[in-house]
């Protein structure tokens, strides 16, 4: 896999539950490098672009409504095999299946409010980093 970059977002439930520090700590504990960080209010347009692959699914409108409902911490992280490892740090998308010790396993109970998002492949990482860090992204 080698050194990769990925997009991680702490969603409105994560910021309102004051989990920003703990999410960042998990990545720092693994010695990953934070290479981009901003606190944003996601617009409807940005949300629909980011979640474009889910357009047409029954939960799409609620997904857009939720991600635009409060502050989001958008981050770019770098490290060896980080795309696969970050998915383990987060746990399964559905908190019911997320292992204890993972972010979703420890802090979420509902698939629609699962605290944090991580790119699921190298292609998604490039696409999502391009959406959220088109300007001012470090090197």
Which CB, 111 or 126, lies closer to ligand CMP? 111
Closest distance of CB 16 from ligand CMP, Å = 15
Of 55, 34, 36, nearest in space to 44 by CA: 55
Residues 93, 71: Cα–Cα separation, whole Å: 20
Q: Which of 117, 118, 119, 125 is catalytic?
A: 117
Residues 83, 43: Cα–Cα separation, whole Å: 25
Closest distance of CB 120 from ligand CMP, Å = 7
50 catalytic per annotation: no
Binding site for ligand CMP (CB under 6 A): 54, 59, 63, 93, 111-112, 114, 117
Closest distance of CB 72 from ligand CMP, Å = 11
Buried b (16+ CB within 10 A) or exposed e, 61-71: eebbebbbeee
Q: Which residues are catalytic?
A: 117
């Amino acid at each position: 896999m080698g050194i990769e970059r990925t997009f991680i977002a702490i969603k409105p439930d994560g910021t309102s539950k004051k989990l920003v520090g703990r999410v960042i700590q998990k990545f720092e504990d693994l010695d990953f490098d934070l290479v981009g960080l901003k606190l944003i209010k996601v617009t409807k347009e940005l949300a629909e672009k980011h979640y474009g692959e889910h357009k047409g699914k029954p939960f799409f409108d609620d997904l857009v409504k939720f991600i635009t409902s409060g502050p989001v911490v958008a981050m770019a992280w770098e490290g060896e095999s980080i795309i696969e490892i970050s998915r383990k740090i987060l746990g399964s998308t559905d908190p019911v299946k997320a292992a204890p010790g993972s972010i979703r396993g420890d802090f979420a109970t509902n698939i629609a409010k699962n605290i944090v998002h991580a790119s699921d492949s190298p292609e998604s990482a490039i696409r999502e980093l391009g959406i959220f860090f088109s300007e001012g992204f470090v090197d």
